[in-house]
Amino acid sequence: MTPEQQTAFAAAYRELFDAEMIDANRPEAHLNLGLMAKKLRHPSEAENHYQTALRLDPNFTPALVNLADLDRKALIYRSKMLYLKLPYRSFLSFGWN
């Protein structure tokens, strides 16, 4: 993005955030903010918003589903990192050759 686009995006994000925080006591507001954070690749921020939504309404399924999806993606990422760190001979001992 150009600097002008970055500035416009930052202003639009701030406006969205402020608008959602008007109804901060509703789980839908935190779901929307979590979805935006996820899209911006800020998983810990997304997780915080989903957890806040669930504190407001423990039965709010959309937040639960998105939180589970974050956990699934984190598990896949950790598995890949483990795979990359293991030396080749470790796989031979498991019969993965």
Name the DSSP class of 95.
Answer: T
Tens digit of each residue's pLDDT (9 = 90 or more) over 36-72: 999 999 999 999 999 999 999 999 999 999 999 998 8
pLDDT of residue 50: 94
Q: Which domains does the chain have, with CATH numbers?
A: 3-93 (1.25.40.10)
pLDDT tops 60 at residue 81? yes
Question: Could you write out the DSSP letters of every residue in 22-80?
Answer: HTTTSHHHHHHHHHHHHHTT-HHHHHHHHHHHHHH-TT-HHHHHHHHHHHHHHHHHHHH
- The yes-or-no verdict on residue 96 having pLDDT over 80 is no
Q: The pTM is what?
A: 0.73
pLDDT at 71: 80
Token look-up 């423990």 returns 58
